[in-house]
C-alpha cells in the first residue's frame, strides 16, 4: 500500500490483489508494498492513518485502489464499492456494540466497587469511633489515609473505562463514515 497521491487529496492504495483490501497478507518485511510489510489489511491501515491524522481528510478526497491491470474487470468497481461500504457498516456496528458493552460492564463494576468502598469506609469510621477511638492520632490518620487510597484505587479503573473507553471506537467510526462517503476508484498499476 502506498499512501502517495495522484490528486492532492486522493488516498492511493497499491495492492497485488483486491483481497488485500480486506484481508491481511503474509508479513513480508522485504516487500516494497506497505500492506506486505505491515501484514494488515489495506482498509484497516487507511482508517488508522486517517484516525492518526497522518492523512488529512478533505471533502472530495477519493480512495484510489491500484491493482494489476489484468485483475480489473468491468464488474469489479461496483462490487468493491459495495464491499467497502458493507465492511464499514459492519465495523461501525461492531464499534457501537463495543461501546455499549464497555459502558454496561463499567457501570456494573462501578456500582460493585462503590458499594465495597462504602462498606470499607463505614468499617473504618466505626473502628475509629469505637475500638480505635483511644489510639494515637498517627495510627488513626494512617488508617483513614489507607482507606482513602484503597477506595480511589478500587474506583479508578471502572470510572476510567466508563469515561474514556468509548473514544477509540467512536473515532474509528467517524473515519469509517468518511471512507464510506469517499469516491472509490480502481486504477491499473504497472
**Which tops the pLDDT comparison, 6 or 25?**
25
Query: pLDDT tens digits, residue range 31-63?
Result: 777 776 677 888 888 888 777 765 565 666 788
Q: Please tell me the total number of residues recorded for the chain in this structure.
A: 190
- How far, CA to CA in Å, does 12 sit from each of 8, 66, 83, 188? 11, 7, 18, 12
**C-alpha angle with apex 165: 57 to 63, nearest 5 degrees?**
20
3-state SS assignment for residue 140? helix
- The string of DSSP letters for 75-127 reads THHHHHHHHHHHHHHHHHHHHHHHHHHHHHHHHHHHHHHHHHHHHHHHHHHHH
Global pTM value: 0.75
3-state SS assignment for residue 51? helix
Q: If you average pLDDT over every residue of the chain, what do you get?
A: 86
Query: pLDDT tens digits, residue range 92-142?
Result: 999 999 999 999 999 999 999 999 999 999 999 999 999 988 989 999 999
Amino acid at each position: 500500500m502506498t499512501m502517495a497521491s495522484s490528486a492532492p487529496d486522493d488516498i492511493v492504495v497499491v495492492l497485488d490483489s483486491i483481497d488485500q483490501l480486506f484481508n491481511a497478507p503474509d508479513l513480508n518485511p522485504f516487500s516494497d508494498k506497505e500492506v506486505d510489510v505491515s501484514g494488515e489489511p489495506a482498509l484497516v491501515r487507511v482508517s488508522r492513518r486517517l484516525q492518526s491524522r497522518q492523512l488529512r481528510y478533505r471533502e472530495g478526497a477519493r480512495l484510489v485502489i491500484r491493482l494489476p491491470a489484468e485483475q480489473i474487470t468491468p464488474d469489479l468497481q461496483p462490487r468493491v464499492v459495495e464491499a467497502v461500504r458493507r465492511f464499514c457498516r459492519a465495523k461501525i456496528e461492531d464499534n457501537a456494540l463495543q461501546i455499549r458493552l464497555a459502558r454496561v460492564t463499567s457501570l456494573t463494576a462501578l456500582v460493585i466497587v462503590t458499594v465495597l468502598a462504602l462498606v470499607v469506609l463505614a468499617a473504618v469510621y466505626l473502628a475509629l469511633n469505637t475500638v480505635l477511638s483511644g489510639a494515637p492520632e498517627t495510627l488513626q490518620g494512617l488508617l483513614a489515609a489507607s482507606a482513602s487510597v484503597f477506595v480511589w484505587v478500587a474506583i479508578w479503573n471502572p470510572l476510567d473505562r466508563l469515561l474514556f473507553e468509548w473514544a477509540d471506537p467512536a473515532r474509528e467510526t467517524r473515519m469509517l463514515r468518511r471512507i464510506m462517503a469517499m469516491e472509490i476508484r480502481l486504477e491499473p498499476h504497472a
